[in-house]
Amino acid sequence: MSDAGPALERLLGIMAHLRDPEHGCPWDLQQSFRTIVPHTLEEAYEVADAIERDALDELPGELGDLLFQVVFYAQLGREQGLFDFAGITEAIADKIVRRHPHVFGDGGRTDSAGQRRTWEAIKATERAERAGRATSQMDDVPVALPALSRAEKLQRRAARVGFDWTSREPVMGKVHEELAELEAAAATGSRADVHEEMGDLLFACANLARHLGVDAEQALRDANGKFERRFRGLEAELARQGASAEAVDFERLESAYQVAKAADKDGE
């Protein structure tokens, strides 16, 4: 294992210099906890993107960008006397040890499902201790999560106390029910009703994905990628015909899309 100490100390020093009131970077000096959140989310998605593209040669750089976000937060915390990088690392090390009694304690060996139950029970205890009162299963589900991921997490929390279907059939039925309600809302022309019913349908689809063992967020990311790939194929097909997507009607677009779709399937 390499010694990351000197490299990490260098990075922390660079961050402190960037925030130096006299000699630092004007942009970095303007930042706050709130203003760097969008950058943190962007860097996390770029890590996910590199992994999804199997671009592992890019991963160290992307992980470095994400680590820099943590270092930035640590510097802001140190300046305000709230916490520092050492405090962050100590806290996560303590938490990981505490949540793995089967590895670091006397909890005994267990399988993945048993470990997950232990993990969730410990997390629930931690939430109750922080709040000093009875807590909701819905506590600590970040609002900033992607909507599909948050829907699945909320549903898993509800399932802990038995608020869940025991088979996929009624979940399928709920999807059909929500689709029918969306169709009825669309017929009325009420944008508010359509908005609400669309949300209900997406929530039901996320629940169905959970029951089928599918990561809804990843499934939609994959579907996005497939559509983008095939649409690019559509554009290439039209270019071969001496045309462009902007200059043809829907029928010709659809025809080119089907050609691209067939070629995409052949390449899978």
10 and 79 inside one domain: yes
Give the tokens for residue 196.
């609400």
Task: In whole angstroms, give the CA distance from residue 75 to residue 185.
Answer: 51
Domain shared by 16 and 91, yes or no: yes
* Residue 133 confidence (pLDDT): 61
| Confidence bin at 128 (pLDDT 50/70/90) | low
What is the rounded CA–CA span in Å between residue 241 and residue 247? 12
Spacing of C-alpha 120 from chain mean position:
19
In a domain, 42, yes or no: yes
pTM: predicted TM-score of the whole model, two decimal places: 0.66
Is 81 inside any structural domain?
yes
Could you tell me if residue 256 is inside a domain?
yes
Statement to judge: residues 122 and 184 lie in one domain: no
Reply yes or no on whether the pLDDT at 233 is more than 80. Answer: yes
157 with 139: CB under 8 angstroms? no
At 77-127, the pLDDT tens digits run: 999 999 999 999 999 999 888 888 878 877 666 666 666 666 667 666 666
Residue 131: pLDDT over 80: no
Give the chain's mean pLDDT.
89
Domain membership flag for residue 142: no
Tokens of 103: 């590895």
Please state at what angle helix 191-211 crosses helix 216-240, rounded to 10 degrees: 110
Instruction: Tell me which residue range forms the domain holding 233.
Output: 218-267
Residues 175 and 198 both lie in one domain: yes
Q: How far is the C-alpha of 15 from the C-alpha of 90, rounded, in Å? A: 20
How many structural domains compose the chain? 4
Residue of 182, 119, 128, 181 lying closest to 156 (CA atoms): 119
With respect to residue 139, please indicate whether it lies within any of the assigned structural domains.
no
pLDDT of residue 136: 79
Verify that 89 and 10 share a domain, yes or no: yes
Predicted local distance difference test score (pLDDT) of residue 210: 95
Same domain, 226 and 244: yes
| 9 lies in the same domain as 76 | yes
Q: Give percent above pLDDT 70 in the chain.
A: 87
